[in-house]
Amino acid sequence: MPMCEAYIPEGALSPSAERELLGKITDLLLEQEGVDPTNERARAIAWVSVLRHEIYVAGAPAQVPHYRFVCHVPEGQYNDERRAAVTAAMTQAVVEAEDGSWPDPERRVCIFTHEVKDGTWGGAGMILRLPDIYEFVFGDKGRQEAEQVLAVRRRQEAELLLAAAGDRAVP
């Protein structure tokens, strides 16, 4: 399910605020994939990696913390609405974690949401497709649900290609 690289500067947050933030991020990423965040199987494969970084703004060391979150989910999990919800919720979680320590936190948070093409997600020494992941998390019914999710995505992609080809057609 979700993988997230959380770029959080050393000392930007108290240890307890950072732990709480990382827990919130895990929960909201699962929720936006349509998974109950209390599902222990899903939680076991929801990883957030914390990376410490030094950031420069306009060529000089930043005077206030800046955060970057790079979220990866299997193909078919995001649409524009889910991406917007992840971005808003993660930004708000950082605002709450900072608790007014620095000005304008919303302007110092960047979130990138990426889908990993089906057939290119690797884990446990093998390629894991969305139906494999859904089956692990949801049991037998998960495989069929994932196949439907991917079928919808394939239809959407085909419609976009047809529309683009139509735009390029010579009248």
Express each pLDDT in 96-116 by its tens digit. 999 999 999 999 999 999 999
Delimit the domains of the chain by residue range: 3-167
DSSP string, the chain: --EEEEE--TTSS-HHHHHHHHHHHHHHHHHHTT--TT-HHHHHT-EEEEE----EETTEE-SS--EEEEEEEETTS--HHHHHHHHHHHHHHHHHHHTTSSS-GGGGEEEEEEEEPTT--EETTEE--HHHHHHHHH-HHHHHHHHHHHHHHHHHHHHHHHHHHHHT---
Tens digit of each residue's pLDDT (9 = 90 or more) over 54-88: 999 999 999 999 999 999 999 999 999 999 999 99
CATH classification for the domain delimited by 3-167, as one of 1.10.287.40, 2.170.130.10, 3.10.110.10, 3.30.429.10: 3.30.429.10
User: Per-residue confidence at 132, pLDDT binned at 50, 70, 90?
Assistant: very high
